[in-house]
Amino acid sequence: MPWDDPNQNNNEAASFYRRIWQLSGRSQVTLIGLSIIVSALAAAPLHFQKELVNGLTYGISFSAVLLLGAQYASAIVVTILVKGLLKYRSAMLGESIVRRIRRRIYTAYAEHRASGAPPKLAPGTLVSMLTGEADKVGHFVGDAFAGPLVQIGTLLSVLLYIGAGEPILGLFILAVIAPQFFIIVAIQKPINRVVRTNLELLRAGGDLAVSAVGIEQDDEVLATFEGVYEAKKRFHLLKLSMKSALNACTAFGTVGTLVLGGWLVINGDTDVGTVVAALSGLTRLARPWNDLVAFYRSLNSVRVRFKFLEETMA
């Protein structure tokens, strides 16, 4: 199927991002800048945790503990403020794109209707596009660049910090994360097919429900509902399979970090603070990695919706 062609998927994703940049490039620059700041601050908690643990282990004055604690708290406050600003600006950009898409869709529909030509869209499809589909595409635009940049930046920041402190632990954590990428790519392909099928069925069901005038049409509407149910069942099974596999990798990574870190400490090759920071870092990596998985799923889903919407707005 063409849908499964990776080159076609890559070309469509690149085209999709070009359109996003055309629509919101100036706003995206600000979001990218804020994302870089958030990413740079990602390793700060690990540094202060390491310093506090090592200080308490090997002897440190209470004034030094207070100073480290104040610096730690300051880094947290700054991160929260910058993240809050980033999320607000992303959300408002998304809302402005939703508004623009709705205006374009309805204007095109109204102009076509005024020309006296047969309607291009059934009422059910129009309502679906103006509500759920426009929302999903518009809100994605707000996170299109900033979302993955924050998560990738956080991953790199944490991995580089752990690797600089203890290369062996850094390489081990990287080895835990790498296979997850292949799991995501393998399972996402069938998820893409299910998303497309579900969207087509919802549109068809909406059109049939609006125009149904007899028992035969009613049966067709109910049949599409069953198709949607089956598609959703496949979607949830695939999604849960992916999540379970990723959770297993993370859990084994935690055990491995404890064992490997313990071995390094016993042999005098590292300190307790570094192992604690590595464990904390592994936990911190789970969130951005899961967010990247969700973003990747959303990208594939929204790309399908955008393609449908763009055809209507043309």
pLDDT digits (tens, 9 = 90+) for 112-147: 777 777 666 666 667 767 776 677 787 788 888 888
* Predicted confidence (pLDDT) at residue 1 exceeds the cutoff of 60: no
pTM for the model stands at 0.69
Cα 222 to Cα 22, 196, 209, 253, 257: the distances in Å are 41, 19, 9, 47, 52
89 pLDDT tier (thresholds 50, 70, 90): very high
CATH number for the domain running over 2-6+16-313: 1.20.1560.10
Please report the DSSP string for 34-81 in residue order.
HHHHHHHTTTHHHHHHHHHHHHHHH---HHHHHHHHHHHHHHHHHHHH
Continuous segment of H or E residues that includes residue 253: helix 215-266
- In percent, the amount of the chain with pLDDT more than 70 equals 85
What pLDDT is stored for residue 2 in this prediction?
38
* Predicted confidence (pLDDT) at residue 207 exceeds the cutoff of 80: no
The sign of the torsion formed by the CA atoms of 272, 167, 177, 294 equals positive
* Least trusted range by pLDDT, from 29-33, 81-85, 245-249, 298-302: 298-302
What pLDDT is stored for residue 70 in this prediction?
92
What pLDDT is stored for residue 4 in this prediction?
44
Q: What integer is the mean pLDDT of 256-282? A: 84
3 pLDDT tier (thresholds 50, 70, 90): very low
32 pLDDT tier (thresholds 50, 70, 90): very high
Q: What integer is the mean pLDDT of 216-226? A: 73
What pLDDT is stored for residue 30 in this prediction?
93
Quote the CA–CA distance of 40 and 258 in Å, as a whole number. Answer: 26
User: Counting beta carbons within 10 angstroms of the beta carbon of residue 149, is it exposed (0 to 12), middle (13 to 18) or buried (19 or more)?
Assistant: buried
Domain boundaries, the chain: 2-6+16-313
